Structure 1
Amino acid sequence: MKKEIYYFSGTGNSLVVARNIAEKIDAKLTPISSVIDKENIEIDADVIGIIFPFYYLNSTGMPLIISRFIKKLTNISKKYIFAVCTYGGSPYLVIKNLSKIIESSGGKLAAGFGVHMPQCAFKKPFENKKKILDKTEKKVDIICEYITSQKKGRYETDNIFVRLIVVLIRPIAIKEGLKSFKKLAKLPDSSNLSFEELILLSDNSYYTDEKCNGCGICSKICPVNNIKIINNKPVWQNHCENCLACFNWCPKEAIHGGIAPNEYKYHHPDVKLSDMLRQN
């Protein structure tokens, strides 16, 4: 039985989970960025895993590339499909949202899991990264046992209490999210662009300082080829996924702006730059 895991990762959190699961269930590991430009993506494997980070409370919760990827999949009606969402705060309803997109493409999500990982977009003052990562290993074992047994029906979401809180704050998150991303995109408050469209333009906020030496790492590591090096400086091309790869992996820490406040930088301690570059 062939198994293949597709993953998307900017800081390495989802890569580590994908890599560990692939090793334990003997699956081929494929970065989504390596196939996303195909018109149709034919799946040869019998078992398909989709692993990605949770992004925005005021949308589906998925990176935009995940939705595009699923809509390109063909011949998935009889596949065993599972998903894993890595998150720093809450998985909310991202697994259920993902299942709807998979069904619209002719497949069915057999199981979906959430894996708590260190926050990568902002600093949590009391976050114990080591403790979180230790728990991650145990959760991966649980996921692998479920997948190997071909079980179905498990969709992990927040508990009822957390979901009630999210329901209360989500309208505020939607309003403030639109306002914030209009600012990042350098558009007026009167702009009628959707949140998804604003995400793509949020790279208008990025810039480099005098430490930039034109090495091109940012261009090479971007999973959607959104950065060109022009006159030894990166120029963002307005189809950003907000994965923070360029921001976090710049060897000179010369990139600023975007959604990461207070210059907080993070990437998974078990992931090397070479691992990330292999995605592309």
Structure 2
Amino acid sequence: MKTIIYWFSGTGNSLAVAKELAKQCGDAELIPVARAIRNPPPSAGRIGLVFPVYAFCPPALVARFVAKLNASPDSYIFSVITYAGSPGGTISVLQRLMKKRGLDLSASWGVKMPENYPPFGGAPAPEKQQTVNAAAAERINKIAAEIQQSPRGRHEKIKTVWKIVSRMMFPVFQKRAARADRSFRADKKCNGCCLCTRVCPVNNVAMVDGRPSWMGHCEQCYACFHWCPQKAVQYGRSEKQHRYHHPAVSLSDFEM
């Protein structure tokens, strides 16, 4: 069965998951959500959505993509979400979005990955990153084996309180995320290499007089922050934070 896996990622956590799932599923194609939303491809027998949890919800870009998703009502659609703290009620929000599109989320899984959110302190030390990624690799292998069986109705139980929290957070985050880029800046280490403009999935970073400028439609993926080779991109007081990207991905995977 042909599988299309749509992915969204800033540091590579979700992309690393998507790449391994595609490898183990066989006949699979990886497509970034940022590209697919501009030109939705045809449907497939099995469709995957792999993305990180933002404020206990799907990212805004993923939500907009689901509203355009090409799939038939009987398509097998699965999702694998990545998170550092708690997935909250992310899957319940995704299920509602799918229902509005006339689709059903057949199955879902979650994978705990290294933290990378600058407002909450950023990434842990490299040793901790390795430990978390090693455990995640085992989890991904189990998920891949289950996906090949195409189970339906396979969802981890979500507590009612998390469903309520995520339902409340979703519209708030959707509204505020884009303008949160006002906290970005480039410090004196910036050499004008333009890498931040190339890794942004929504072209939210532009060079103005040789310096990066954020344009007000941010997706909060922090690719510009974590991939900057000079560690010149800052978010608030982030100078001492570790930078992170998953070891299984490369810069070329992100350059749009």
TM-score (norm 2): 0.88
Q: For residue 261 of structure 1, report the CA deviation from its aligned partner.
A: 8.3
Judge conservation of contact 2:55–2:173 (CA < 8 Å) in 1: no
Separation in 2, partners of 1:90, 1:260: 23
What secondary structure does 1:50 align onto?
strand
| 2:230 is aligned with 1:234 | no
Residue 106 of structure 2: SS of its match in structure 1? strand
* 1:114-193 aligned within 5 A: 114-121=110-117, 122-124=122-124, 128-157=128-157
Contact 1:96 1:155 in 2 (8 A): no
Aligned to 2:196: 218
Q: Quote how far apart the aligned CAs of 1:74 are.
A: 2.8
Residue deviations 1:44-91, cap 9 Å, x none? 31100000001103xxx1110010000011333121000000011111
Q: CA deviation at 1:217?
A: 0.3
- C-alpha spacing 1:17/1:259, structure 2 compared with 1 (3 Å): farther
Partner Cα separation in structure 1 for residue 100 and residue 74 of structure 2: 14
For residue 189 of structure 1, what is the aligned residue in structure 2?
Answer: none
Contact 2:6-2:48 at 8 Å conserved across structures: yes
Corresponding position of 2:76 = 80
Q: What secondary structure sits across from 1:102 in the alignment?
A: helix
**Matching residue of 2:31:** 30
- Using the TM superposition, give the Cα deviation of residue 141 of structure 1 relative to its aligned residue in structure 2, in angstroms: 2.0
**What amino acid does structure 2 have at the position aligned with 1:8?**
F
Q: Counterpart in 2 of 1:254?
A: 232
Report which stretch shifted further, 116-125 or 76-85: 116-125
The answer on whether the counterparts of 1:118 and 1:127 sit within 8 Å (CA) in structure 2 is no
Shift of residue 255, structure 1, vs aligned partner: 0.8
- 1:48 corresponds to 2:47: yes
Question: How many Å apart are 1:131 and its aligned residue?
Answer: 2.6
Amino acid at match of 1:18: A
How many residues are matched? 250
Report sequence identity in percent: 37
Instruction: Give the TM-score of the pair, scaled to structure 1.
Output: 0.81
Match for residue 274 of structure 1?
252
Separation in structure 2 between the aligned mates of residue 136 and residue 259 of structure 1, nearest angstrom: 29
SS in 2 for 1:106: coil
Distance in 2 separating the partners of 1:167 and 1:146:
25
Closer, same or farther: CA 99–252 of 1 in aligned 2, 3 Å: same
Going from structure 1 to structure 2, the CA distance change for 1:257 and 1:126 (only over 3 Å counts) comes to closer
SS in structure 2 at match of 1:14: helix
The Cα of 1:262 is off from its aligned counterpart by 5.1
Aligned amino acid, residue 71 of structure 1: A
What is the root-mean-square deviation in Å for CA atoms of aligned residues?
2.7
Does the 8 Å CA contact 2:107/2:153 hold for their aligned counterparts? yes
Is the Cα contact below 8 Å between 2:200 and 2:224 reproduced in 1? Answer: yes
| CA drift at 1:230 | 1.8
Q: Deviations over 1:213-272 (max 9, x none)?
A: 111100000011111112111111111011010001011111112596853422112222
SS in structure 1 of the partner of residue 6 of structure 2:
strand
Quote the Cα distance in structure 1 between the aligned partners of 2:143 and 2:154. Answer: 10
Gaps of 5+ in 1: 175-192
